Structure 1
Amino acid sequence: MKKNILVEKLSQDEARGRGIDEWPIWECEPSQFPWHYDQEECCYLLEGEVTVHSEAGAQELGPGDYVTFPRSLDCTWHVRKKVRKHYTFR
């Protein structure tokens, strides 16, 4: 079964309303690397450009994207511009 990455556009006000600004921040310089999600992760991109490749296809992500990565997802991150995001695991 394909594991889909869910993407929703949020304004900064909407993100604050969900308490996202209280989540930790992760940053990554341009790079490419494989990743496996042991838990579901939700994140909100503050800046950067990334393409995440998975069995479901390629997903372009950028500022304002609220992303849910499902548990057990295997993917490859291709960070084109430095990424800065809030994140939490469920």
Structure 2
Amino acid sequence: MKKAILVEKLSQDEARGRGVAEWPIWECEPSLFPWHYDQEECCYLLEGEVTVHSEAGAQELGPGDYVTFPRGLACTWHVRTKVRKHYTFP
């Protein structure tokens, strides 16, 4: 079964309501790298453009996206412009 990346568009108010501002921030310069999620991760993109390639296809991500990466997902991140995101492991 293919693992799906779930994406929701959230306003800043909706993100605040989920407590996103309290989460750590991760930043990454433009790059291409493989990644494997050993546990579920949720993140909220503050800035940047990313394409995440997985067996389910390519997913474009950008500012305002609230993303859930499922446990066990193997993918490749293509960071096209510098990314800043809040993240947590629920």
Q: Same fold (TM over 0.5)?
A: yes
Which portions of structure 1, spanning 4 or more consecutive aligned residues, are displaced by more than 4 angstroms? Answer: none
SS state of the match for residue 77, structure 2? strand
SS state of the match for residue 84, structure 1? strand
Which runs of no fewer than 5 residues in structure 2 stay unpaired?
none
**How much has 1:37 moved relative to structure 2?**
0.1
**How much has 1:86 moved relative to structure 2?**
0.1
TM-score w.r.t. structure 1 length? 0.99
The number of aligned residues is: 90
**How much has 1:73 moved relative to structure 2?**
0.2
**How much has 1:2 moved relative to structure 2?**
0.1
Which runs of no fewer than 5 residues in structure 1 stay unpaired?
none
Distance in 2, matches of 1:30 and 1:8, equals 23
Distance in 2, matches of 1:37 and 1:89, equals 10
What is the percentage of aligned positions where both structures have the same residue?
Answer: 91
Distance in 1, matches of 2:56 and 2:76, equals 12
